[in-house]
Amino acid sequence: MTRAQLEAFAMGLPAVTKVIQWGESDVFKVGGKVFAISGDVSVSFKVTEIGFMALTESGVGRQAPHCAKGQWVAVDTAAAPHADLTSWLTTAHGMIAAKLTKKAHAELGLA
C-alpha cells in the first residue's frame, strides 16, 4: 500500500482528521486522539495486547518507535497485504473512538 492509498483509506474512516506532525509524519486522529501515524515506508497504529504480541512475535510488525507503553506497532507498508493494513487501521480507529466520551461520539456522528 502506498502512502497515498493509506491516507485515502484512513481519511475514509468516520470522523478522521489528519495533521502533519513530528517532521513529515501523517498523523490520523479521531476525536483529537491519534490512532495511526504514517511515514514513507511504515505505518504505526494502536493494537490490542494480543495483536501486539501476534504482530511483533511473528515479525510482521515491530514495536513502534516512541510509543512503547501504549501497545503500538509499526508495519512496513510495502510488505503488508493491503487487506491486512485496512483491517488493522479500522481496528485501531475503533479502539481509539471507543475511548471517546458519549458527548464526543454524538458530536462526531459516531453514535
Predicted pLDDT of residue 4: 92
What value does the mean pLDDT of the chain take? 92
Which domains are delineated in the chain?
3-103 (3.90.1150.30)
Query: What Å distances lie between residue 85 and 20, 22, 56, 99, CA to CA?
Result: 20, 22, 15, 22
What percentage of the chain carries pLDDT values higher than 90? 80
Instruction: Return the C-alpha cell found at 101.
Output: 466520551
Predicted pLDDT of residue 65: 83
Q: What's the chain's Rg over C-alpha atoms?
A: 13
Return phi, psi of residue 109, to 5°. Answer: 75, 25
pTM of the model as a whole: 0.93
What percentage of the chain carries pLDDT values higher than 70? 98
Predicted pLDDT of residue 68: 64
